[in-house]
A = this chain, B = another copy of it.
Amino acid sequence: MGREIERKFLVQGEDWKQGAAVTPMRQGYLSTDPERVVRVRIEGDRAVLTIKGKSVGAVRGEWEYDIPKADAEELLALCPRPLIEKSRYRIAHAGMLWEVDEFFGDNAGLVVAEIELQSEDQAFDKPHWVGAEVTQDARYYNSNLLRHPYKDW
């Protein structure tokens, strides 16, 4: 497997951006059923097929497979439009890795930070640019941003 423990937060300001490593991402969904999401993602030169189970709190089953980038392009062509396009910034802070996603297209203006944990109650230090937690808010699932993009909120 495959168990992802992740917390998600809104982001304030632009301070986080400076010097962060950035990867362009394009992703689509073969299934957006929350009990069995199937995602195709191209991130830089890598392509990944990911299956996610049902979320229970911050915990979610996750299975990830590297696939050829050419396959991923073909699989993205099968996915309903629009695709999700975003830039992912990776930022080290107090020994932890933060991933900040800046969305484009219909989700432009949305910026979300995620941190992956080893356990649900793991303590961590929040950078000053991290705002309100939205882990439990299903609107922020990327698979939901397709049907209800940020511009319509």
Among the 9-residue stretches A33-41, A98-106, A112-120, A124-132, the one with 4 or more Cβ atoms under 8 Å from chain B is A33-41
How distant is A49 from chain B, measured CB to nearest CB, in Å? 7
CB pair A78–B49 under 8 Å, yes or no, is no
CB pair A74–B33 under 8 Å, yes or no, is no
Counting every copy of the chain, the complex holds: 2
CB pair B38–A71 under 8 Å, yes or no, is no
CB pair A78–B36 under 8 Å, yes or no, is yes
**C-alpha gap A64/B2 in the complex (Å):** 20
User: Digit string of A55-97 for contact with B (CB within 8 Å is 1, else 0)?
Assistant: 0000001010101001100110011000000000000000000
Interface residues of A (CB under 8 A from B): 1-2, 30-31, 33, 35-36, 38, 49, 51, 53, 61, 63, 65, 67, 70-71, 74-75, 78-79
